[in-house]
Amino acid sequence: MARIVIHEVGPRDGLQMEKQVVAIETKEAWIRAVMASGVDIVQVGSFVHPEKVPQMADTDELFRRLTRDKTSPTVLSGLVLNEKGLERGLACGVEMFCMGASASETHSSKNTGMGTEEATRRIIGAARQAVAAGKKVQVSVQSAFGCGFEGPIPQERVLGMVRAYLEAGLGSISLADTAGHGQPAQVERLFGAIRELDPAVELTCHFHNTYGLGMANIFAAVRSGVTSFETSFAGLGGCPFTKVAAGNVATEDFVHALHLQGLRTDVDLDRLLGVARDVAAHFGRDLQGFVYKIGPIPTKEHA
């Protein structure tokens, strides 16, 4: 099995739905703790209009703080939806750009103000600029497994967007289950079809846990050759522009599951559990994660 890559998206996808704006010092502390755990990538924030998503208004400053005298090998990623976001990200030190378009016309319009075709075209243009600037780039298809507004999304529509990315030379591709409609057999079919288009493609998945299928979908993706996984501390999160916003698979739950199989034991689960507990305490409510509440299944590491 190829090495599994863990991409923590809590600081962006986790926090974007929260009405209580988290102080930049608190965000920075959570991010630094996740970096210290040995997670591969942390998504610091998104470059969106502060009036639309006030929680992300400090993203530029967060990147400046985290990249100043940085020694950690953890890659710092940022989400951009347009050319202006790319410009901001290049100016403040983003190391990896995540950008994408939705396969749902309704979600695309609500999220970006553009239809799928225009959004895809503009994302490809921005992605090429980021690549030319020497940055790592991951492009995504959002609402790839279904949409809360439109229902099922035709597989061929998703594959058409993937073909456009591949033809543009963009070989790191994520499928996001924005509405949480995905189920394991569908996951295997869709990722298998992408592998047939290009066996060398680098695949990432991002599953929301709306119907409790997130972890099952992750391991269906593993069976399909996916190597990179986006998860959120304590399972926090949800897209504010989808019909039913729900959290993600919890990073610490995923790492716990990996540890039980002897995988990614280099990642410090105890440190991730500490972050999840801090996040839950900060918001004063139980979050979707499981292991942070009850502790890990005893192993030699936690005997």
For the chain, how long is the longest CA-to-CA vector? 54
239 an active-site residue?
yes
Beta bridge partners of 41: 7, 75
Instruction: Select from 253, 258, 183, 252 the least CA-distant residue to 227.
Output: 258
Question: Which residue in 92, 147, 205, 239 is the catalytic one?
Answer: 239
Burial of 69 per CB tally in 10 Å (0-12, 13-18, 19+): exposed
Q: Measure Cα distances from 274 to 3, 8, 106, 281 in Å.
A: 25, 15, 38, 11
* Sequence-distant (≥ 6) Cβ neighbours of residue 216 within 8 angstroms: 183, 184
Beta strand 228-231 pairing with 136-142: unpaired
| Catalytic (active-site) positions | 239
